[in-house]
Amino acid sequence: MADANPASVSFRGVTKRFGETVVLDGIDLDVHAGEVLAVLGPSGGGKSTILRLINGLEVRDGGTLSVLGRDVPLGPPAARPEDPWWRPLRQEIGFVFQAFHLYPHRTALENITLAPVAVRGVAPEAARAEGLALLERVGLSAKADARPRELSGGQQQRVAIARALAMDPRILLFDEQTSALDPEMSAEVIDVLRDLAARHDRTMIVVTHEFGFAREAADRVAFLEHGRILEVGAAAQVLDAPRHERARAFFERVL
Ligand SMILES: Nc1ncnc2c1ncn2[C@@H]1O[C@H](COP(=O)(O)OP(=O)(O)OP(=O)(O)O)[C@@H](O)[C@H]1O
Ligand SMILES: [Mg+2]
């Protein structure tokens, strides 16, 4: 059956273990094209693991996962992102990690233009123009020629966002680590994410600790604890009137 708004990412009964530890315990989740989903929950709950499965950096142990309409196979190929099966898919997925490894010896602009030129075959001059436009969008026009060590943590993270956007991904995964940033830097990064979210031109899954961002910018919020999605729904409902007792306790503690 044709679906006018197909799921961009679809988890069904997905499980993941590390050794004896069950990290994801039956995840069911559909994220629709153009939707902004915020994922919240306590540390160790499995938030990053969910993103890493979507990007093929981890392999699930059970259940089914489809990304942009393609069923992700179980087993070793998904563990190797450079595998031919993953290559075209990964070009559609931008991932801004908790540890956003920029190339240390390249300028901010070069960090952004490298992949479009090398992977997408974009002409260097076109990539440069696009890179400068992206730097402007993340508020870093003045930093095109700066190397990562000359940038603050929040600035580096914004370069990492611009780098992900340079590939024009259909899915953008963002793994926020608030603790690494001071509040001001974090606000700059959140502003960039908020601007992206408002466009609704790509699917965004944002692991965040920023309730303000989740409430204002996300369409839906998922609360994840101990490898289970205990609650998922409209942002205002989940944040302001959570049905699950654990979600309520978590939000009360953090807010
Ligand atoms: N490569 C790994 N090997 C073993 N255990 C792992 C590995 N990666 C994650 N884990 C474990 O899986 C669980 C979920 O980790 P994950 O990083 O997904 O949590 P999280 O919700 O992102 O936490 P945080 O908010 O602290 O980033 C944790 O208990 C973690 O220790
Ligand atoms: Mg994490």
pLDDT digits (tens, 9 = 90+) for 52-82: 999 988 999 999 999 999 999 887 655 566 6
How many angstroms is it from 54 CA to the middle of ligand 1?
Answer: 15
Q: Which ligand is nearest to the CA of 20?
A: 1
Number of helices (H) and strands (E), helices first, in the chain?
Answer: 9, 10
Token pair for residue 124?
């260097």
Which residue's CA is the closest to the ligand 1 atom numbered 26? 43
1 has pLDDT over 50:
no
Report the C-alpha gap between 229 and 140 in whole angstroms. 36
pLDDT digits (tens, 9 = 90+) for 146-194: 999 999 888 898 999 999 999 999 999 999 865 555 666 678 888 888 9
pLDDT digits (tens, 9 = 90+) for 128-143: 999 999 999 999 999 9
CA 57 from centroid of its chain's CA atoms: 13
pLDDT digits (tens, 9 = 90+) for 182-231: 666 678 888 888 999 998 899 999 998 888 889 989 999 999 999 999 99
Report the C-alpha gap between 230 and 79 in whole angstroms. 27
- Which of 24, 48, 206 to mutate for ligand 1's pocket (most ligand atoms within 8 Å of CB)? 48
What is the sign, positive or negative, of the torsion defined by CA atoms of 197, 81, 43, 223? positive
Q: Which ligand is nearest to the CA of 46?
A: 1
Q: Grade residue 8 by pLDDT with cuts at 50, 70 and 90.
A: very high
How many angstroms is it from 106 CA to the middle of ligand 1?
Answer: 30
Helix axes 108-118 and 124-137, enclosed angle (nearest 10): 130
Ligand 1 pocket at CB < 6 A:
18, 23, 43-49
pTM of the predicted protein model? 0.92
Q: Which atom of ligand 1 is nearest to the CA of 49?
A: 18
Q: Which ligand is nearest to the CA of 97?
A: 2
How many angstroms is it from 3 CA to the middle of ligand 2?
Answer: 32
Q: Which atom of ligand 1 is nearest to the CA of 50?
A: 18
- Which of 15, 17, 18 to mutate for ligand 1's pocket (most ligand atoms within 8 Å of CB)? 18
**What is the identity of the amino acid at 223?**
F
Which residue's CA is the closest to the ligand 1 atom numbered 30? 44
Q: Looking at the domain that runs over 34-62+73-92+171-255, which CATH code has it been given?
A: 3.40.50.300
Q: Which ligand is nearest to the CA of 59?
A: 1
Q: Which atom of ligand 1 is nearest to the CA of 41?
A: 21
Which residue's CA is the closest to the ligand 1 atom numbered 4? 18
Q: Provide the residue ranges of all domains of the chain, joining segments of one domain with +.
A: 34-62+73-92+171-255, 104-168
> CA–CA distance from 7 to each of 4, 31, 111, 192, 245 (Å)?
10, 6, 31, 25, 29
